[in-house]
Structure 1
C-alpha cells in the first residue's frame, strides 16, 4: 500500500499515530453482523529498554489485537485489527508490546468510542440505544457513566431557576438521585451516588441560601421527602407534581374500585363479564 493511501485511511478514521502502518481492509461476518475490518501494523517506536535503559531491543514477533472503533453507520461496525510489535531486551530479557494512543493499554475499545459514549450520555437516550450505536454492551456504557465526572459534576456554581428531581437505576441496580435543568434543554445539574435524604440535603446545602432562593419551580413525583427537602431548602420554590404520577395514581384507584364492584357479581353473569 502506498503512503498516500495510508495517509488517506488514517485521515478518514481520524487516527494520529505515526507508528501505525496501514495494511489493508476487508469485510468479515461476526455473529451474523457484517464488520468492516481495517488492518494495521503497530511498530515499537524506540530502541531503549524501559527496564534497564539499554539499547539492546530486538524484534520478538507480533501480537494481534482487535479493537472496536467508531463508525458512521451502526449497521456496519468497524474493527481495527492491529498487529502490535513485540520486542525483547537482550540485556535483561524483558519483553515489551507496542502501544498506541488510540486505545488504552489492556483495552479492546478505542478511546474514540469511549468519548462518543460519554457525549451521548448527555442526551435524552437510553443506555441500550447508546450501546447499540457503538457496538458495545450496556454494562460497558454503565461503567463509563460511573467512571466519568465530566457528564455531571457534583458541584456547580449556580442552580437552575426551574429544577426537576428524580431517581434512576444505575450501576449494580442501585438507585441514584438526579437533578436536571427543567427549562427545555434538560441539562443534567447533578447525579448523586444514592438517593438518601442526607446525601441530597448535603448537596443542596453546598449552595448559599441566596442561590437556593432563586429557584422558582421544582418538578417531582409523589416522593414525600423530596417535597419536605424542597419546602425547607428552597423558600421561594413552587412544588409541581408530575401529571404522569397523578394520572397513574387515579388509574390505580379506579382499577381497585372496579375490581371491588366486579366481585359483587357471579363469575358466570353478564355483569361480571362487562
Structure 2
C-alpha cells in the first residue's frame, strides 16, 4: 500500500491515461507514476488506483468566510477508498487522498470535494448509475450486488 508521499508528484502522461481510462474530468484530481497496484482488499485481489484531490478553496464550508490566501490552510490529506466499476470481473477502487483544509476563523476542518463521488460517500457516481440501470432490468438485487461487489442492503 502506497502512502501520500509516494504519489504526490503528478505524472502528466499517466495522469491523462488514467483519467481517460476511468472517465474522470476533474482538473483537481491527478495521478502519479506509481498510481496503480494490485492489492488484496478484504481477501480479494483488487485493482487499486491512487489519486490525489487538491485545490485552493474559495471559502470555508462552515462559516463562509472568503479565502484571502492565509485564513484557510491546507492540512494533511485523508485517504478514502472509492469503489469504481469492476474491470474484467475484478473489484476496482480509487484510493483518493483528499486534501483537508483548516479555517483559522472558525477552526473547522473540511475536505476537498469532487463531482466523481458524493460527499460522505464511498461509491463513485458511475457505479451508482450502472446499478440504477441494472435495477430497471429483471435482475435480482443480490445478483446486481454480487456483480458490482457492493452490499445489497
TM-score with structure 2 setting the length? 0.83
1:43 aligns with 2:64: no
Q: What SS class does the counterpart of residue 77 from structure 1 fall into?
A: strand
Q: Higher RCO, 1 or 2 (CA under 8 Å, sep at least 6)?
A: 2
Aligned partners of 1:32 and 1:102: how far apart in 2?
26
Aligned partners of 1:48 and 1:121: how far apart in 2?
39
Match of 1:65 in 2: 80
Change (3 A) 1:93 1:32: closer
Aligned partners of 2:113 and 2:84: how far apart in 1?
16
1:15 aligns with 2:24: yes
**Alignment length (residue pairs):** 138
1:92 aligns with 2:106: yes
Change (3 A) 1:123 1:84: same
Match of 1:53 in 2: 66
Q: What is the deviation of 1:92? A: 2.7
Contact 1:67/1:109 (<8 A) preserved: yes
Change (3 A) 1:25 1:88: same
Match of 2:129 in 1: 115
* Higher alpha-carbon Rg: 1
Give 1:192-211 correspondences, 5 Å limit.
none
Aligned partners of 2:82 and 2:118: how far apart in 1?
10
Unaligned runs of 5+ in 2: 1-9
Match of 2:97 in 1: 83
| Match among 20, 29, 42 for residue 40 of structure 2 | 29
- 4+ aligned runs moved over 3 Å, structure 1: none
Q: What is the deviation of 1:47? A: 4.3
Aligned partners of 1:44 and 1:137: how far apart in 2?
32
Across the aligned residues of Structure 1 and Structure 2, the Cα RMSD in angstroms comes to 1.5
Q: What is the deviation of 1:101? A: 0.7
Q: What SS class does the counterpart of residue 101 from structure 1 fall into?
A: coil
Q: What is the deviation of 1:59? A: 1.1
More strand, by proportion: 2
Q: What is the deviation of 1:34? A: 0.6
Aligned partners of 2:42 and 2:107: how far apart in 1?
40
